[in-house]
Amino acid sequence: MPKQTNYMQSNNTVEVLCSKLVLFGALGDLVLRKIMPALYQLEKAQLLDDKMTILAVGRRSFSNDEYLTYVAEHLEIYAPSEGLDNQLCKKLLTRVTYNELDYTEARSYANVQFNSQEQALPTVYYLATPPSLYGDICHNLFDCGAINDSSRIVLEKPIGYDLQSSQVINDQVGRFFTEEQIFRIDHYLGKETVQNLLALRFANPIFAGLWDHNSIDYIEITAAESVGIEGRSYFDETGQLRDMLQNHLLQLLCLVAMDPPTSLCAESIRNEKVQVLKALKPMTKASVMSDFVSAQYGEGNIASKGVPSYTDEIGARADSETETFVAIKVEIANWRWSGTPFYLRTGKRLASKSTEIVIHFKPDAHFVFDSDQQDHRSNRLIIRLQPQESISLTVITKKQGIEKGLRLRRKSLHLDFCGTESTDRVPDAYERLLLEIIKGDQSLFVRRDEVELAWQWCDRLIESSKSCNQTLHKYDAGSYGPIVARKLIQRHGHEWHEDV
């Protein structure tokens, strides 16, 4: 084990800080729109060690000053909600050095100083590049002596296109880094509300005793986007199932459905998520026909502005059969969730941007109020990840007024993380994830077996869907998706949250 000479004390644990963060893909949107603004906020919160440096590497020829100016321009747009603090920006940029690098050319790596002068501390390699480059980058880093036992590497999704391709990528990286050194990012896991989901479930006995098939009727997880593909040509070869369902939605499913971990350490949490993925019922031809919907958006209106159909978008083929919307009913075959359906859906060009988890609790068997009030007999817990992170519990109360009798109404007990907390902003997911990477905590990152189990399940779903030649439905941009998605859930006696 390498010597550990610099520590941060937090939550009664000792964490090893990194000395250098190396950003591959330094001129890409991810670095400029997300990573640099997140580092700015960590600098502002004084969470970066004074000695930590940032090496930005990219393929274009920039002088160091030109790159720093370029980053500052993007920070002006993406970093603060209240205006850029120029002194803080300068402090961050004093950490940054830019180097031009051909990722696939081994000789060019010799011209870059990757490791920190403080060899006892880890260097973090963040690969904000296409996954097709992961193998070359790792191999070249190894050949130039830039990898040691304390190094860490960060991988962005997608980890492959299917199970086989994900195994190839993981094998390429795994030749040079152990599993304990690899941080696979799913940015949904860094969201504040996802962290609160763990607190809500495991710190509140009122929910812990109700979190199973005996008390919960059904659960829905929705990730709706109002944007289209925004010129991303890779999407036409990927589709919404691979791009969103395979990672983001299945990760949220795991956190909602997993058993309590033995502790909050990374392996305990990830072990429980793996058990959920292992218990997911495979999608057969029969279940695909009844419980899976795929669709593609046509032209429509978003925020009173006309938008084109998917096949007219830049980056899509005119004859494309790529799905931009999926809805599916899944089941988990274990003692906790036997018989409880989970409805997952995600789509582009929908009415609004929203990601939320809705827990529908079962009603009491005996309803003592007037029979015409039957729709006021159950509770819902709504966990919203975006656009405004919040948790609300819908409860049934009496309408106020002596003339109302015992007429019922729904009211929400609401926790708004901006409105009720002593903060003017909710931290971006990348702020949390970068901080955990710097500290070396893998709790919010995805283990290799999670990736492969998710792909194995999705590959079976895709294969079953193709073999039964299922219809690709259409929906208008600006709607809530195709009508058949509503019929899917209604067949089982349930409703989507917005229809209740």
Q: DSSP readout, 366-405?
A: S--S-GGGGGGS--EEEEEEESS-EEEEEEEEEPSSGGGT
Residues 6+ apart with CB under 8 A from 247: 157, 158, 186, 446, 454
Residue 87 belongs to some domain of the structure: yes
What are the structure tokens assigned to 136, written together?
């070359």
Q: What is the pLDDT of residue 411?
A: 78
Count, in order, helices (H) and strands (E) of the chain: 15, 19
Does 9 score more than 60 pLDDT? no
Does 161 score more than 90 pLDDT? yes
Alpha carbon 358 to its chain centroid, in Å, reads 17
Residues 6+ apart with CB under 8 A from 213: 336, 337, 338, 339, 340
Q: What is the pLDDT of residue 231?
A: 77
Residue 435 belongs to some domain of the structure: no
Q: How do residues 338-372 score in pLDDT, each as one tens digit?
A: 999 999 999 999 999 999 999 999 877 766 655 65
What are the structure tokens assigned to 474, written together?
């259409």
Same domain, 125 and 271: no
* Helix, strand and coil in the chain, % to nearest 5: 40, 25, 40
Predicted model pTM: 0.90
User: Given the DSSP bridges, would you call strands 96-100 and 53-58 parallel, antiparallel or unpaired?
Assistant: parallel
First to last CA, the chain: 56
Does 398 score more than 80 pLDDT? no
The residue-averaged pLDDT of 152-174 equals: 95
Give me the amino acid identity at 318.
A
Q: What is the pLDDT of residue 6?
A: 36
Residues 6+ apart with CB under 8 A from 308: 228, 299, 477
Q: What is the pLDDT of residue 206?
A: 86
Confidence tier at 406 by pLDDT (50, 70, 90): confident
Distance in angstroms (rounded) separating the CA atoms of residues 362 and 367: 12
Identify which of 405, 370, 280 has the alpha carbon closest to the alpha carbon of residue 331.
Answer: 280
Does 12 score more than 60 pLDDT? no
Does 384 score more than 50 pLDDT? yes
Distance in angstroms (rounded) separating the CA atoms of residues 211 and 217: 10
Residues 6+ apart with CB under 8 A from 192: 389, 417, 426, 427, 432
Identify which of 223, 6, 273 has the alpha carbon closest to the alpha carbon of residue 119.
Answer: 6
Neighbours of 479 (CB within 10 A): 17
What are the structure tokens assigned to 290, written together?
């009844």
The top-scoring range by mean pLDDT among 72-86, 302-316, 369-383 is: 302-316
Q: What residues make up the domain containing 135?
A: 7-156
Confidence tier at 154 by pLDDT (50, 70, 90): very high
Does 4 score more than 70 pLDDT? no
Residue 377 belongs to some domain of the structure: yes
Residues 6+ apart with CB under 8 A from 336: 211, 212, 213, 257, 259
Q: What is the pLDDT of residue 152?
A: 96
Distance in angstroms (rounded) separating the CA atoms of residues 407 and 382: 24
Confidence tier at 104 by pLDDT (50, 70, 90): very high
Same domain, 223 and 353: yes
Residue 383 belongs to some domain of the structure: yes
Q: What is the pLDDT of residue 373?
A: 63
Distance in angstroms (rounded) separating the CA atoms of residues 405 and 387: 38
Residue 351 DSSP symbol:
S
Distance in angstroms (rounded) separating the CA atoms of residues 464 and 468: 6
Question: Are 220 and 357 within 8 A, CB to CB?
Answer: yes
Does 422 score more than 70 pLDDT? no
Same domain, 282 and 335: yes
Does 108 score more than 50 pLDDT? yes
Lowest mean pLDDT among 17-26, 72-81, 389-398: 389-398
* Last residue in a domain, options 156, 175, 206: 156
Residue 328 belongs to some domain of the structure: yes
Confidence tier at 16 by pLDDT (50, 70, 90): low
Q: What is the pLDDT of residue 208?
A: 84
Same domain, 353 and 418: yes
Q: What is the pLDDT of residue 132?
A: 92
Lowest mean pLDDT among 195-204, 326-335, 345-354, 411-420: 411-420
Residue 316 belongs to some domain of the structure: yes
Residue 135 DSSP symbol:
H
Does 107 score more than 70 pLDDT? yes
Active site residues: 248
The helix/strand/coil state of 16 is strand
Does 215 score more than 70 pLDDT? yes
Same domain, 335 and 472: yes
The residue-averaged pLDDT of 402-421 equals: 68
* Last residue in a domain, options 108, 137, 156: 156
- Give percent of the chain above pLDDT 90: 71
Distance in angstroms (rounded) separating the CA atoms of residues 117 and 98: 17
Distance in angstroms (rounded) separating the CA atoms of residues 222 and 249: 8
Residues 6+ apart with CB under 8 A from 116: 19, 20, 53, 123
String of DSSP letters for 266-316: HHHHHHHHHHHHHHBPP--HHHHHHHEEEEEEESEEETTEEE--GGGSTTS
Same domain, 21 and 75: yes
Q: What is the pLDDT of residue 8?
A: 36
Confidence tier at 140 by pLDDT (50, 70, 90): very high
The residue-averaged pLDDT of 229-257 equals: 92
Q: What is the pLDDT of residue 395?
A: 78
Same domain, 146 and 240: no
Residue 448 belongs to some domain of the structure: yes
Q: What is the pLDDT of residue 13?
A: 43
What rounded mean pLDDT belongs to the chain? 89
The helix/strand/coil state of 319 is coil
Same domain, 105 and 205: no
Q: Which CA distances in Å does 159 have to 155, 173, 186, 287, 421?
A: 8, 11, 10, 27, 36
CATH number for position 38: 3.40.50.720
The residue-averaged pLDDT of 220-240 equals: 90
Same domain, 398 and 261: yes
Q: How do residues 468-495 score in pLDDT, each as one tens digit?
A: 888 999 999 999 999 999 999 999 999 9
Same domain, 133 and 206: no
How many domains does the chain contain in total? 2
Same domain, 107 and 208: no
CATH number for position 492: 3.30.360.10
Residues 6+ apart with CB under 8 A from 42: 48, 431, 434, 435
Continuous H helices in 36-96? 36-44, 64-78, 86-93
Same domain, 219 and 76: no
Identify which of 255, 224, 22 has the alpha carbon closest to the alpha carbon of residue 128.
Answer: 22
Confidence tier at 5 by pLDDT (50, 70, 90): very low
- Give percent of the chain above pLDDT 70: 89
Distance in angstroms (rounded) separating the CA atoms of residues 23 and 370: 63
Q: What is the pLDDT of residue 89?
A: 95
Q: What is the pLDDT of residue 299?
A: 96
Q: What is the pLDDT of residue 28?
A: 94
Residue 21 belongs to some domain of the structure: yes
